[in-house]
Each structure stands twice: as C-alpha cells, then as structure tokens.
Amino acid sequence: MKPGHGEVLLAEGDIDVRADEEALVEEFRRQLELGMWAAVPVSAPGGRREARMVRDFADVPRDADRVIFFPRAAGGC
Amino acid sequence: MALALVATSIVILALLWEVSWPTVSEQLERRRAGRARVPSLDIDPGRERRAEQRARQLLRSCVNDEEWEMYRDLGFIRVWGALADGLERDHGGTVATELGAPYAYLLYPHKPVVAYLPQTRELLNEYCVDFPDETRPYGSARLPDSDDVLAKWMALTGDERRLIETANMHLPGRQVDPKRVRRDLWRLQEWERQRMRRRARADGDPAGRDSETVSE
C-alpha cells in the first residue's frame, strides 16, 4: 500500500524457483528496512479471516499467495 | 550658451528617466513573465479515484464476505476483540472486559478505531492511529480510504495488542461523535438482521420469510 497510489506490485515470483525466492527475500527485507509492516491475510477457523504479521521471510506461510506491506502504525489525531 | 543647453537637457533626461523608469521596469517584468516557461502541473484527477478502486479490491480480497458487505453497505467494519486476557483497564477496557466480556472495534476510514461493548453498546475508547509513509522525503499523502481500513484490520487482527499500545487512546467523543457511533451500531444491528433473513430465504428456510413478514 502506498499513500496516493493504493496497491503497488513490488515483486512477484515462484517461491520454488531459487532466483525468484532470492528476489522476493531481498524485496521483503528492503520493505522492512524502509519501516513497513508486513502481513499475510489468512483464513481462521469459523470462516473468519485475519492477518498474520510477519517479521521474517521464513515466517511467511509457504502457500501464501501474497504479502502485503503497509506503513507502520503510529499514534495519531 | 551651449553648455547651459546641454546641462538643461541632461537634467530633463534625468527627470524623465526617474519618472518613466517604474513604468518601463514593470513592462519589462511583464514581458519576461509572459515569455517564462510555466511548469506544467502533473495533476491526474483520476489518480485518487483509481487508487481507491484498487484499494477496495484489495480489501475485498482480504476480509471475509460479511466484513466486505458491511464495509460496502455501512462504510465501516466491525472487528471482534481477541486478546486472550481480555482488554485490560490500562488499555481502555473495563472490569467486564477483563473478566472476558466480548468487546469489538469499529474501523472507519481515516477516523479513530472505536472500541465498544456489543451487549450494552457502551462506548469504551477511541484509539487514534495513523499509517504515515516514512519513506517519503516530503510529508505523507494519505492512504486511500479502503487501504486505511485494511491497514487497521490487518494490524488489529494480526497484532491487536501492538496496535492499541501504539495508538493514542482517548475517551469516546473526542473525534467521532458518540451519537453517530450509536446510530452506526443500530444500523449494524438492522443490517445483520436483514442479512440473516436473506440468507435464511436463500437456504429455503421459511423462518426467514415469516420473520420478515412479522417485522415489516
């Protein structure tokens, strides 16, 4: 998510392809270094949906189809 | 004689110069401004609209059907509180929430998150939270409305404690009118009733039809 733009595709690839995985890991780290939070939307029991916050690429479920980066929360108003 | 004429001419020229210079100067400035290249402003009036459309699609793909329809129809999303130990009083909870009473949040775009008790509709707190983009060197444009709601939804369902600890907590009514919230809670209740009726009807349950006949 990017202010003024909405969703922006940062990187995509097949996690089972080594070169793709490296590119995804690199982009993941870059986003976290920029101060973004990363989340993976997942299904929870009872038909609920929730987000799983991830701080390391290894925490991303292997079957996740995407990771969403969004600006870190800060106290506002 | 000639010297006197020359001196007089010089004085006259100097006076004329003094009188006419402001006008000449102004005309020169205007001419310069007229020929100056005006930088074209790269404004795309559809950009924010397209960003919001993309944000709505992203939100829809992340939340469940009920939450999406709630946002589409009512303009906010309710998220149930899920802290294992309940919402502590330090973080805006009550004795009831500490003892395990269910509590929930209303997520509005670009407004504080409002916590409340669904059973009594008692408003607990407002949690003011922003998602500023620190990567921009010059201030921060706002996320599209639906992205703001999605960011709150992800932060709340992903790490509720971190979000409420990060947010600035205020008593109800500081930013969001409590009357409006209570009205929204009433709208939500009605919306849920109608949704249940529709689902019952779709499932072929006559109870859905009967309850509609009775209430309408």
The closest of A6, A55, A48 to B151, measured between CA atoms, is: A6
The closest CB to that of A6, out of B51, B167, B168, belongs to B51
Q: CA nearest A3 in B: which residue?
A: B143
Find where tokens 């008692």 sit: B122
- Shortest alpha-carbon distance between residue B51 and chain A (Å): 5
Specify the range with the lowest mean pLDDT, choosing from A13-17, B106-110, B135-139: B135-139
Task: DSSP letter for B79, please.
Answer: E
Q: Given pLDDT bands bounded at 50, 70 and 90, which one contains residue B43?
A: low
- Shortest alpha-carbon distance between residue A6 and chain B (Å): 5
Residues 6+ apart with CB under 8 A from B131: A1, A70, A71, A72, A73, A74, B143, B148, B151
Look at B134 and A35 and tell me if their CB atoms are within 8 Å. Answer: yes
pLDDT of residue A3: 73
Look at B154 and A70 and tell me if their CB atoms are within 8 Å. Answer: yes
Q: What's the complex ipTM? A: 0.91
- Shortest alpha-carbon distance between residue A61 and chain B (Å): 14
Do residues B129 and A73 make contact, with C-beta atoms less than 8 angstroms apart?
Answer: yes
Q: Which two tokens stand for residue A61?
A: 């479920």
Q: Which two tokens stand for residue B51?
A: 């960003």
Checking DSSP bridges between strand B122-130 and strand B113-117, what pairing results, if any? antiparallel
Average pLDDT, chain B: 84
Find where tokens 């005309």 sit: B27
Residue A15 CB coordination number (10 Å): 14
* Stated pTM of the model: 0.77
Chain A residues at the B interface, defined by Cβ less than 8 Å, are 1-7, 34-37, 39, 41, 47-53, 68, 70-77
Burial of B195 from C-beta contacts in 10 A (0-12 / 13-18 / 19+)? middle
- Segment B186-199 mean pLDDT: 94
Provide the residue count of chain A.
77
Answer whether residue A12 shows pLDDT above 70: yes
The most distant pair of C-alpha atoms in chain B lies apart, rounded to whole Å, by 122
Bridge partners of A40, per DSSP, are A52
What are the structural domain ranges in chain A? 1-59+66-72
pLDDT of residue B214: 40
Find where tokens 């010089």 sit: B10
